[in-house]
Chain A
C-alpha cells in the first residue's frame, strides 16, 4: 500500500472508532457484555453446590448419627438448617422452600449397624431442580461412604471393591472452568460476527456504502477498514476474559498463552468472515441482527458443547454440531486452558477453523461480486 492509501485507511479506521464509541448500545455490547457474562457464569450459574441448606430428622439420636451429622455439617457443601422431629414436618419444610434435602436416620441406627451390619439413612431431595437434587444426593453418598470406610478400617472384609475416582484437569469440578471457554467463544462470536455484520449493513442502509464504492477506495479496502476495529476490540475482549478468569476465578491457563492468542485470532477471523457473509446477504441492520442471533448465537450457545454435552445429543444434532465453528474453538480452548496441550493435539480443530474461514471469505467475495453486477 502506498502512503497515500495508508492515510486513507487510517482515516477510515478512525471514523469507524467514532461510530463505535458514540453508540452507547454498541459500547455496552462490546465491553459490558463480556464482563457481565463472565461474572454471571462464574458466580451465579453454577453446577456446584455450596452451603446447601438441609434438614435432619434423627429418630435414634445416638453416637453414630451424631458423628455422621457432624461430618455433613462440617463439609462446605451443606449446612444444617433445621432439626425436625417427625415425618409430618418434612413436607412442610420442603414447601416453605427452606431446605433442599432432608436426611432421615432410622430408629436404633447405631444398634442396627453394629448388631445387624445394616442401617438405613433416607435422603429426600427436592427435585424441582433435578441437577441440584442429583448433586446433593451424590455428595451425601460420598460423605457417607467415606465415613463407612473410616469405621471399617479395622475390620477385614474380603472381596471389597472400592472405586477410586479422580477427576483430572478440573479436580474441584469448578463449573466456571467449563464456562470460561464457552463465554469467550460467545463473546468473540457476538463482537466479531454480529457487530461487524450490523456495522456493514448500516452503511448500506444509510446509503454511505454507495458513496464509499464510488470513491477511489477499493471494495476490499472498505470491508477490511470496517473489520479492523472489531479485530482490535475482540482481542481486547479475549484478554479481559482471560484476565478475569485467572485473577477472579483462579482459573489456571495450563498451555501456552501465545498459542491461546493465535487460536483466538484465528477464531476471530472465522467469526468476522461469517459476519461479512451475513452482511452481504442482508439489506438492513435488523435482518443482519436477526440472522446473527438466530443463525449464529443460538447454535453457538446450544450446539457448541459448552452447556450441553455433544455426546449426549441425538445423532442428527451431533452431526449438525460439526458445522458450528464454536464447537471446535471450545475444544481448542479447553485443550489449551485446562489440559495444557500444544498445537500437535489440536491441529485438526485448528485446520477445520482455517478451512471454514477460507470457505466463508470466498463465499462472501462471490456474493459481493454478484451484488455489484
Chain B
C-alpha cells in the first residue's frame, strides 16, 4: 500500500475555447503523502484541481483519483475524497452540530455514525462550548478547523484543500498544519494548494505550476538545491519570473 499512487495524472489538459488553462500536466501522488500544489493566481491550479475532484471534465489526457477514472467514474471519486474550499464553506445560519449532521448526511453516513463522529470531533477540537452556536458567530479559525473536520467526516482516501489557510493568523495556521500532519499520519493523502511559501516547506513534495504547466516537482529540499536558493519563496520567484 505504501508505494501505491493514489493520484495518477498523465498529460491532463483543459481548454476553454482557445485558451489552454491546464497544459498537459503529469504527476503522481503517493498514499499518505502531503502534496503541495503551488502556482500564482491564474496559473491553472484551481482548474486542475476541479478536474481531479470530478466537477470538471478534462479536454484530454488521463487521470485516476483514488483508483477511479475522472472521465468514466467521477461519481465514485466524489465518494472517496474530501474537499475544503478557501471559503471554509459551512452554513452560517446552522449550528456547529447541525452543520456536522448535514454534511455527514449528504455523504451517506448513518445517524449512528454521524453521532459517533460528532462526539469524537467535539472531544478532539474542544467544541463543547460552541457546539450549539451558529457557525456565523464563530471566528475564522474555528470555521477553518470545523470545515476541515467536516471534509474528513466520511474517512476519504484523499482530502483536497484549496488555499485552506487564507486570512487566518499565523498561530492558527500553525495549529492547522498540525491537523494536516495528523491526518496524513493516519493514512489520508493530503492535496493542498497554498499561497504561503513557508507552508510549502511543510509538504512532502511540491509541484509549481506556471501558465498551465508544471515547471517543477520535487521535495522542498531538492527544489532548493536544484535552484540553488535558501527558501521555497525564492524557488517560486525564480520560476515565476522566467
Would you call B78 and A214 a contact (CB within 8 A)?
yes
Contact status of A210 and B57, CB under 8 A, knowing A15-B102, A215-B106, A216-B79: no
Smallest CB-CB separation from B102: which chain A residue? A15
Q: How far, in whole Å, are A22 and B92 apart by their CA atoms in the complex?
A: 11
Smallest CB-CB separation from A213: which chain B residue? B55
Smallest CB-CB separation from A12: which chain B residue? B106
Q: How far, in whole Å, are A122 and B75 apart by their CA atoms in the complex?
A: 82
Q: Mark A330-373, 1 if CB is under 8 A from B, else 0.
A: 00000000000000000000000000000000000000000011
Q: Mark A1-15, 1 if CB is under 8 A from B, else 0.
A: 000100110011011
B29 CB, nearest partner CB in chain A, Å? 18
Would you call B106 and A216 a contact (CB within 8 A)?
yes
Would you call B105 and A8 a contact (CB within 8 A)?
yes
Which chain A residues border B89 with CB–CB below 8 Å?
206-208, 210-211
Would you call A15 and B98 a contact (CB within 8 A)?
yes
B91 within 8 A of A: yes
Would you call B53 and A214 a contact (CB within 8 A)?
yes
Which of the four size classes fits the interface of chain A? 20 to 34
Q: How far, in whole Å, are A213 and B86 apart by their CA atoms in the complex?
A: 15
Q: How far, in whole Å, are A215 and B85 apart by their CA atoms in the complex?
A: 13
B189 within 8 A of A: no
Would you call B108 and A7 a contact (CB within 8 A)?
yes
Would you call B105 and A7 a contact (CB within 8 A)?
yes
Would you call A208 and B101 a contact (CB within 8 A)?
no
A76 CB, nearest partner CB in chain B, Å? 52
B94 within 8 A of A: yes
Which chain A residues border B91 with CB–CB below 8 Å?
15, 18-19, 206, 208
Q: Mark B38-73, 1 if CB is under 8 A from A, else 0.
A: 000000000000000111110000000000000000
Q: How far, in whole Å, are A4 and B86 apart by their CA atoms in the complex?
A: 29
Q: Which of B53, B54, B93, B102 contacts A22 (CB 8 A)?
A: B93
B165 CB, nearest partner CB in chain A, Å? 16
A217 within 8 A of B: yes
Would you call A19 and B85 a contact (CB within 8 A)?
no
Which chain B residues border A208 with CB–CB below 8 Å?
89-91
A91 within 8 A of B: no
A265 within 8 A of B: no
B83 within 8 A of A: yes
Q: How far, in whole Å, are A25 and B75 apart by their CA atoms in the complex?
A: 37
Smallest CB-CB separation from B55: which chain A residue? A213
Which chain B residues border A216 with CB–CB below 8 Å?
75, 78-79, 106-108
Which chain B residues border A206 with CB–CB below 8 Å?
87, 89, 91-92
Q: How far, in whole Å, are A15 and B101 apart by their CA atoms in the complex?
A: 10
A290 CB, nearest partner CB in chain B, Å? 23
Would you call A214 and B81 a contact (CB within 8 A)?
yes
Which chain A residues border B81 with CB–CB below 8 Å?
214
Would you call B105 and A12 a contact (CB within 8 A)?
yes
Would you call B93 and A19 a contact (CB within 8 A)?
yes
Which chain A residues border B56 with CB–CB below 8 Å?
372-373
A150 within 8 A of B: no
Q: How far, in whole Å, are A372 and B106 apart by their CA atoms in the complex?
A: 20
Which chain B residues border A218 with CB–CB below 8 Å?
75
Which chain B residues border A172 with CB–CB below 8 Å?
none
Q: How far, in whole Å, are A19 and B86 apart by their CA atoms in the complex?
A: 22
Q: How far, in whole Å, are A7 and B107 apart by their CA atoms in the complex?
A: 10
Q: How far, in whole Å, are A211 and B104 apart by their CA atoms in the complex?
A: 12
Q: How far, in whole Å, are A14 and B93 apart by their CA atoms in the complex?
A: 13
Contact status of A18 and B94, CB under 8 A, knowing A207-B85, A216-B75, A373-B56: yes
21 contacts between A and B (CB under 8 A): A7-B105, A8-B105, A8-B106, A11-B105, A12-B102, A14-B102, A15-B102, A19-B91, A19-B94, A206-B87, A206-B89, A206-B91, A207-B89, A210-B83, A211-B85, A211-B89, A212-B106, A214-B54, A216-B79, A217-B106, A372-B56
Closest 10 CB pairs of A and B: A11-B105, A207-B87, A207-B89, A214-B83, A208-B89, A22-B93, A216-B78, A215-B106, A15-B102, A216-B79
Q: Which positions in B face A, CB cutoff 8 Å?
A: 53-57, 75, 78-79, 81, 83, 85-87, 89-94, 98, 101-103, 105-108
Beyond known contacts A22-B93, A210-B89: 15 more, CB 8 A cutoff: A8-B106, A8-B108, A11-B106, A12-B105, A19-B93, A23-B93, A208-B91, A211-B103, A212-B106, A214-B53, A214-B78, A214-B81, A215-B107, A216-B79, A218-B75
